[in-house]
Structure 1
């Protein structure tokens, strides 16, 4: 058993159908396992669940959930600064709110941030010190 493997990230969204359109524009594919109140969006090695925010609050048992606090960010890593810039532009064109345009950053990479249509913070980055495998997943294993 590997407890460190994250296979699903769930985002509370105001309008599931609207969120599906946004994430499909970014390349995610809606699974046939989706239902009206929850869409399962297929990525590489992970599923993004878009769950009706009111249902998520009711299920969570803690009351209201503050959307988009910024205390957590989702990230997508790319093979080049140009790929970061292109994906950032795609997200903004699909309705994301720009936060920090992609730029060279203090740690030696190139990154930017946007908020999706429900306020969730995303980072898009190129880290020249990390390897990406053929599927674009970060590979932090030691080099042979």
Structure 2
């Protein structure tokens, strides 16, 4: 019996709609940790020698060695270029987008796309962290946030 057969009817399963942890594979853990700390994010005491954890609002950002993360997942570590993923921060205004991207670049990020008005009615730009992970910083006037600053979509 295969794995899914042992689990029964997969269609009946429900996975809670939570994203708990985003882990980024990084070339130099100390450099990447310093970059995110320069953005004002605090390294958690749960961090260990080979991994950095940063508590965000409702999710944890993990920084882990690129090759070690690939080995853990059982995939080759030799990939370059676009990874098909971007992380995003939704700002409260266009001015905040500009400020955040400026601070990221000052902390060592690479400006990928300068902030601009975009086709969907918002304002956004992109930077890449020291390992090339894309971050979009956007002001989306159509997204509401709760009192804790988390996005709330219907």
TM-score in terms of structure 2 length: 0.86
Unaligned ranges ≥5, structure 1: none
- What are the Cα deviations for residues 57-110 of structure 1, in whole angstroms up to 9, with x where unaligned? 221212225255241100000111111110000110011111111111111100
CA RMSD across the alignment: 1.5
Aligned-pair distance for 1:55? 1.2
How far, CA to CA, are the matches of 1:90 and 1:119 in structure 2?
Answer: 17
How far, CA to CA, are the matches of 1:2 and 1:138 in structure 2?
Answer: 20
2:82 corresponds in structure 1 to 69
How far, CA to CA, are the matches of 1:129 and 1:94 in structure 2?
Answer: 30
Q: Secondary structure at the match of 1:17?
A: helix
Q: Do 1:67 and 1:118's aligned partners in 2 also have CA atoms closer than 8 Å?
A: no
Q: 1:40 aligns with which of 53, 59, 80?
A: 53
Q: Larger C-alpha radius of gyration, 1 or 2?
A: 2
Q: Do 1:130 and 1:139's aligned partners in 2 also have CA atoms closer than 8 Å?
A: yes
Residues paired across the two proteins, number: 141
TM-score in terms of structure 1 length: 0.91
Aligned-pair distance for 1:2? 4.8
2:32 is equivalent to residue 19 of structure 1: yes
1:114 corresponds in structure 2 to 127
Q: Do 2:66 and 2:77's aligned partners in 1 also have CA atoms closer than 8 Å?
A: no
Unaligned ranges ≥5, structure 2: 1-13
